[in-house]
C-alpha cells in the first residue's frame, strides 16, 4: 500500500468518501436512496454523449448527471405516479437507452464493465483533480448550509416559516448529489454507486448520537471502507469497487453489533 502506484486510487477514494458521508446522511434522512440510484443509471447517457461528441468523458458525465437532476426534480413533483415508480422507470430506461446507443455507435469502444462496476485502480491524476475540486466544493457548501439543510430535512414547513429558501436548498442538495454520484462512478461504478452513499451513513446511524456526529462518522466509515477495499483488492486480486462496498457492508454489520451491545448494557 505504500507503493506510489496506489496513491492516486487511494486519494480519489478517500476524497470521495469524505464528502459522500455527510451527503449520504441527507440521502438517508430524506429517503432519497432511489433518487441517487436513478442519477447513477441515467449518467450513462452522459457517457454516451461524451463518446459521440468526443468531449472529456468526466465532464460529459458530470453535465449529464446535473441535467438529469434538474429534469427529475420538477418531474417527480408534478407526476401523478408514485415517486419510486417514476424513478424506477427513468432509472432503467436511461440505462437501457445509454447501453443501446453505445452498442449502435460504429467504431466506438467503451469499457462498460469499468463504468458499471467501477475501476478505481485506473484512476489517473486528472480524475483526482476533478474529484478534489468536487470534494472541496461539496464539503464547503454542506458546511456553509449545514443548519439550513438540516432544518429543511427535519421539517420543510417549519424551515420555510423560519425564512429558509426550501426550494433552493433542495435544489442545492440534488445538484451536489448528482455531482458526487457522477464522480463516484469512477470508483464503484453505476451499479454500486448508491452503496457508497447509503451504507456508511447507515452504519454511522447505529452508533451516532447527533446529526453532526452521524455525518462525521459516515465520512470515517467511508474512508475506512476505501482503505480496506483497496487492501483486499491488492491482497486477493478482487475488483476494487465491489471490494470497497463489501468492506462498507462489513463495517455496517459491525455497527449493528456495537448497537446491540450498547442496548444490552443499558437494559
Interval 79-89: pLDDT, tens = 677 777 888 88
How far is 194 from 203, CA to CA, in rounded Å?
Answer: 14
Spell out the residues 6+ positions from residue 219 whose beta carbon is closer than 8 angstroms to its own.
Answer: 17, 18, 19, 20, 21, 22, 200
Burial of residue 30 (CB within 10 Å: 0-12, 13-18, 19+) is middle
Q: In the structure, what pLDDT confidence band is assigned to residue 227 with cuts at 50, 70 and 90?
A: very high
Q: Per the domain annotation, does 233 fall within a domain?
A: no
Q: In terms of residue numbers, what domain contains 91?
A: 7-194
Residue 43: the pLDDT is 79
Q: What is the CATH number of the domain that holds 91?
A: 1.10.3470.10
| Count of domains for the chain | 1
Cα three-residue angle 194-199-202, rounded to 5 degrees:
125
| Residue 15 pLDDT | 95
Assess contact for 25 and 215: CB atoms under 8 A: yes
In a domain, 204, yes or no: no
- Give the Å distances, CA to CA, from 154 to 32, 33, 87, 140, 261: 14, 17, 23, 21, 29
Residue 175 included in any domain: yes
| DSSP-assigned letter for residue 72 | H
In tens, the pLDDT along 191-221 reads 788 888 999 999 999 889 899 999 999 999 9
Determine, yes or no, domain membership for 224.
Answer: no
| pLDDT beyond 50 at 179 | yes
Tallying the residues shown for the chain, one arrives at 267
Is the pTM above the cut of 0.85?
Answer: yes
The DSSP result for 8-33, as a single string, is: HHHHHHHHHHHHHHHHHHHHHHTT-H
The answer to whether 149 and 173 are in contact (CB under 8 A) is yes
- Asked if residue 229 is part of any domain, the answer here is no
**pLDDT band, residue 176 (cuts 50/70/90):** very high
Q: What is the pLDDT of residue 35?
A: 82
pLDDT at 36: 81
| Inter-residue contact 193 to 181 (CB < 8 Å) | yes
Confidence of residue 120 (pLDDT cuts 50, 70, 90): confident
Tens-digit pLDDT profile for residues 28-66: 998 888 888 888 888 788 888 888 887 888 888 888 889
- Does any domain span residue 43? yes
In a domain, 203, yes or no: no
Q: What is the DSSP string of 60-102?
A: HHHHHHHHHHHHHHHHHHH-SS-HHHHHHHHHHHHHHHHHHHH
Instruction: Give domain status of residue 241, yes or no.
Output: no
Amino acid at each position: 500500500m505504500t507503493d506510489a502506484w496506489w496513491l492516486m486510487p487511494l486519494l480519489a477514494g478517500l476524497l470521495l468518501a469524505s464528502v459522500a458521508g455527510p451527503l449520504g446522511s441527507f440521502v438517508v434522512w430524506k429517503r432519497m436512496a432511489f433518487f441517487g440510484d436513478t442519477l447513477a443509471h441515467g449518467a450513462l447517457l452522459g457517457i454516451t454523449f461524451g463518446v459521440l461528441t468526443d468531449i472529456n468523458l468526466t465532464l460529459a458525465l458530470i453535465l449529464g448527471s446535473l441535467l438529469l437532476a434538474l429534469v427529475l426534480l420538477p418531474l417527480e413533483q408534478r407526476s401523478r405516479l408514485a415517486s419510486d415508480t417514476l424513478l424506477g422507470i427513468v432509472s432503467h430506461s436511461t440505462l437501457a437507452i445509454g447501453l443501446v446507443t453505445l452498442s449502435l455507435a460504429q467504431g466506438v469502444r467503451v469499457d462498460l464493465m469499468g463504468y458499471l462496476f467501477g475501476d478505481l485502480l485506473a484512476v489517473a491524476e486528472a480524475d483526482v483533480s476533478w474529484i478534489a475540486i468536487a470534494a472541496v466544493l461539496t464539503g464547503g457548501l454542506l458546511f456553509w448550509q449545514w443548519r439550513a439543510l438540516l432544518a429543511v430535512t427535519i421539517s420543510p414547513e417549519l424551515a420555510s416559516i423560519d425564512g429558509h429558501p426550501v426550494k433552493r436548498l433542495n435544489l442545492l442538495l440534488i445538484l451536489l448529489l448528482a455531482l458526487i454520484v457522477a464522480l463516484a462512478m469512477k470508483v464503484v461504478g453505476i451499479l454500486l454507486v448508491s452503496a457508497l452513499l447509503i451504507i456508511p451513513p447507515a452504519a454511522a446511524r447505529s452508533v451516532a448520537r447527533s446529526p453532526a456526529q452521524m455525518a462525521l462518522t459516515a465520512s470515517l466509515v467511508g474512508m475506512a471502507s476505501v482503505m480496506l477495499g483497496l487492501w483486499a483488492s491488492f491482497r486477493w486480486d478482487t475488483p476494487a469497487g465491489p471490494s470497497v462496498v463489501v468492506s462498507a457492508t462489513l463495517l455496517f454489520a459491525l455497527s449493528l453489533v456495537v448497537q446491540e451491545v450498547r442496548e444490552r448494557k443499558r437494559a
